[in-house]
Structure 1
């Protein structure tokens, strides 16, 4: 009986979340369709949802679409993985070691004030406009938020926990795994969430700004702009946004699984 009640509650919660997520887009598309039908907007500048849907069907059937999607996701995952791991390790290092903090934290805080897009000319000078340049740009976009939130999470652990570890003479690695890391995990995931958002923005941004090499979802919008194909531009924008939401949803699901013990407590 309790399992049935729990299942029903979860189902209702999922339904409510889904309805809240789709309500505004559905209303927007309905208003857009009415405005197009009544000729309230210039169809040459803003085509109807039906025309965008027809363009989407045509693009989705092209083999180059899968290639572009795969290429964008591959660069995103590689850059995100490198940046996230490096950011977590660096954040832990400067939060756990006074010497490391003294040596590296000032430079880190100065460098993170530099706009990410200001790095692109330097990156392209040394690495060109290929995959390596794009992945490095994505890595940088992930590294800073992950490192900062990891540092804040580890630094915010109460000294009481550290004193307990010292009193019981826990090995440093054991104390870190059992006390420090669990306490900082929520803040670390905040950094990982922000890093994922920045990674996807950097993935598409690098395809716009380093567009002379390779394929990707950003090329859909570029091709639409060059051909003044507004349907293609709008479809590309919606597709990029949808993929970003899906990536964020996957990480949110992972976070809930990993931090389930905190929610239960």
Structure 2
């Protein structure tokens, strides 16, 4: 009898113990559906017909000599010249010099543009003093300052850095100012309800809301700086991709010119894509919120 009671009591005690919860199943990533991938694949496919058609027309024009080879060399000739320039290291050295100039000029213009854009966007007094002068300054193209700057600083590296910085400065300043001015007033009102001070409102409300247009300004600034670099190297430089284009033209080596032009376009495209990838990563919280 006692054995039965103890067994029953032991069973009740075991039943009273908390049961271990089964481990939740591991989350699996949903499989990629073809329907979701099709828009991306379709866009990639639609991007190829036009450049392939241009390349085919170029090859036909060179093969049938519709245009003299001295003016329009064949694509294979340009490719062979590209390989030769790469093997000799001339292409890499000139590309590196151009990238260094863009880096220094872009960083200088970006720092100044962000500072001025934030100052005008947050202070009506600064905006009233400086915005009209900035607009007048922005209307003059970068190369329009070239003759004056050549007389002041010469044709050394300072000239190129200043012109690249100016090309970066204008779009970053303008987009930063517009981004801060475009922050919805409802965001400010909610922040005041939560009792945010000025620094908290700036750090947690104003700057995050204005970040997308500010980053667009950074992308435009990098694009403009690259274009300004090529322009100034075409006019006043003894190194860089722009100089390589001028050098090929002076020697009437159009294959060298076209090879350098292809590199200019490829590097500019790559720089913009890198900033686009960084933007997609930084703004990932916007997609996760919806």
Alignment TM-score, normalising by the size of structure 1: 0.91
Equivalent position of 2:209 in the other structure = 183
- SS of residue in 1 equivalent to 2:189: helix
List gaps (5 residues or longer) in structure 1.
none
Alignment TM-score, normalising by the size of structure 2: 0.84
**1:258 partnered with 2:286:** no
The answer as to whether partners of 2:219 and 2:272 remain within 8 angstroms in 1 is yes
**1:90 partnered with 2:116:** yes
List gaps (5 residues or longer) in structure 2.
1-26
1:89 & 1:20 partners in 2: Cα distance? 41
Q: How far is 1:141 from its partner? A: 0.2
- Partner deviation per Cα, 1:162-201 (whole Å, 9 max, x = no partner): 2222333312222112111111111112211211110100
The answer as to whether partners of 2:106 and 2:165 remain within 8 angstroms in 1 is yes
1:10 & 1:256 partners in 2: Cα distance? 18
1:20 & 1:194 partners in 2: Cα distance? 25
Q: How far is 1:206 from its partner? A: 1.4
2:83 & 2:131 partners in 1: Cα distance? 50
| Residue from 52, 65, 71 that aligns with 2:78 | 52
Equivalent position of 1:162 in the other structure = 188
Q: How far is 1:9 from its partner? A: 7.3
From the superposition, tell whether residues 145 and 117 of structure 1 become closer, same or farther in structure 2 (CA, over 3 Å). same
Equivalent position of 1:77 in the other structure = 103
Equivalent position of 1:115 in the other structure = 141
From the superposition, tell whether residues 21 and 189 of structure 1 become closer, same or farther in structure 2 (CA, over 3 Å). farther
From the superposition, tell whether residues 72 and 115 of structure 1 become closer, same or farther in structure 2 (CA, over 3 Å). same
Compare CA radii of gyration and give the structure with the larger one.
Answer: 2
**1:125 partnered with 2:151:** yes
Equivalent position of 2:257 in the other structure = 233
